[in-house]
Amino acid sequence: MITKVLLPKLGETMEEGAIGKWRVKEGDKVNKGDVLFEITTDKANFEYEALKGGYIRKILYKEGIVVPVLVPVAYTADSMSEPLPKEEPLPPAKPKEEQISSPAPVSAPISAPVVEPVFTPAPVVQAIFTADGRIFATPIAKRLAKEKGLDLLNIAGSGPNGRILERDILNYKPGTMKAAPAVTAAASLNMAKLKSNGGSKTSDLSQMRKIIADRLKKSKQEAPHFYLQLDVDMTELLKKRAELTAKGVAVSVNDFVIFASAVALREFPLMNSHFVNEKVVQFEDANVGVAVALENGLVVPVIKQANNKTVRAIAAEAKILAEKAKTGKLTAEDYSGGTFTISNMGMLGVDNFSAIINPPQVGILAVSAAKKQTVVINDAIAIRSIMKVTLSADHRVIDGAYAAKFLTRVKEVLEKYLFNI
């Protein structure tokens, strides 16, 4: 029996993925649970495991090809003698570096057959630099290079626009670098101009940045944002946190904010919802997304059921997710299912900012730095640590008074230290 291996849909917004690396070849016998191939998305790399045992009868797409979700990428069979189905082919797919990402409409699973596309490997070039002088490489590639003691300057990149990928590190052999002199010279010339402030450099958006651009543009165009801001007196909380630190309990300010937000989300459930197809979908659990900045974009891993967790549990989970995000090891489960998002720029010293809602959510909380200010308490001047928080809300679902009550509850939990440590 011939079975289609479909490119899975790993998240709510995923519409396509690139074949990162095949772990098997045609004719191999595999068991259920064996890893067949790696999938690269705008957020992370994932491994696809066989759903049943059999033989790899046909691989339809080579490494580096971008494929729509739910499209067959291979055929497995109970034996190698079974004939392949005769089907009308889809248009040949392009290598990842030639793809232009655009939002695809949500539709029924694609069942159209495919044939093996013509694949031309991307030209290999010498290490390319970003506009700020850093080598253009993925976080995984940088980590592997460091572990192996390799200098990225000596490694050719086979990714989009010459970016160094994981496979470039794994396949690298000293003295075998293939450089394209014309590209190398152009890159060197651009860097010289940039350093002297005498020129400029134009580059394409990365796959991740394209997705971010599309989603946030859509959010600002479709969701009528309104903003509410409150000052939160963090003086007592910071004292309590210092006491916990002295006892060896490591929790960040953001961990407290996540806890406080989860409390408020349970009490104001409309904030804990999605707006989809003109309908409001409310959720029982507060799954709080935490924005993590990467070199080439932003990912939002999710603290699941934050409303049922202590501050310590939130802190431990947030630390693991942040590390996985920075090393490119997030799974689909790690960043899916968010019902509300927190963006904290306090550690960067930002005094105040407003964030764009992450659709289909209806709210996001922007958290700034806690700084000492003079305030009036009981008609007396005092020095307190004040942190500004700004709520962005979708006016299609949330009204001003409701949002104000939600934000006031977050402030109350933080100021009165109403925490389950």
Residues involved in catalysis: 395
- Written as six digits, the tokens of 326 are 């920075």
How many residues can be counted in the chain? 421
| Dist. CA 3–CA 82, nearest whole Å | 11
| Dist. CA 6–CA 73, nearest whole Å | 6
Reply yes or no: is the peptide bond before residue 360 cis, omega within 30 of 0.
Answer: yes
Contact 252, 315 (CB under 8 A): yes
| Dist. CA 107–CA 224, nearest whole Å | 26
Contact 127, 164 (CB under 8 A): yes
| Dist. CA 94–CA 100, nearest whole Å | 10
- Written as six digits, the tokens of 144 are 């592997």
| Dist. CA 272–CA 221, nearest whole Å | 21
Neighbouring C-beta atoms of residue 186, cutoff 10 Å: 14
| Dist. CA 157–CA 170, nearest whole Å | 12
Residue type, 79: S
